[in-house]
């Protein structure tokens, strides 16, 4: 990413060898939510990436069909409160 304040930045994440539809949309929605809560772009990207990473790994571990997308609902607790990601 790039922000005027911090310049270019990258966010590393763990790779899970599977494809789930909708993860880009999920990333964008979570990123937008954090930006609207006044997180910096770099913080928002980091938190959105961590959240999608958690969703993908949990779905992969549950061995559900990739065609169903990620298991989002059980992971929502990581977006707020003391379970907050990052």
Residue 64 buriedness (CB in 10 A; 0-12 / 13-18 / 19+): middle
pLDDT at residue 17 is higher than 80 = yes
Q: Give the mean model confidence (pLDDT) for residues 21-49.
A: 95
Q: With CA atoms as reference, report the closest residue to 57 among 23, 10, 12, 9.
A: 23
Q: DSSP assignment of 1-60, as one string?
A: -EETTTEE--------S---TTHHHHHHHHHHHHHHTT--HHHHHHHHHHHHHHHHHHHH
Q: What's the chain's average pLDDT?
A: 90
pTM of the model: 0.88
């Amino acid at each position: 990413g790039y922000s005027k304040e911090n310049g270019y930045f990258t966010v590393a994440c763990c790779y899970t060898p599977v494809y789930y539809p909708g993860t880009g949309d999920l990333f964008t929605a979570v990123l937008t939510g954090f930006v609207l809560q006044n997180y910096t772009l770099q913080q928002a990207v980091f938190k959105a990436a961590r959240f999608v990473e958690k969703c993908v790994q949990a779905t992969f571990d549950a061995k559900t069909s990739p065609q169903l997308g990620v298991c989002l609902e059980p992971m929502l607790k990581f977006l707020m409160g003391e379970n907050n990601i990052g």
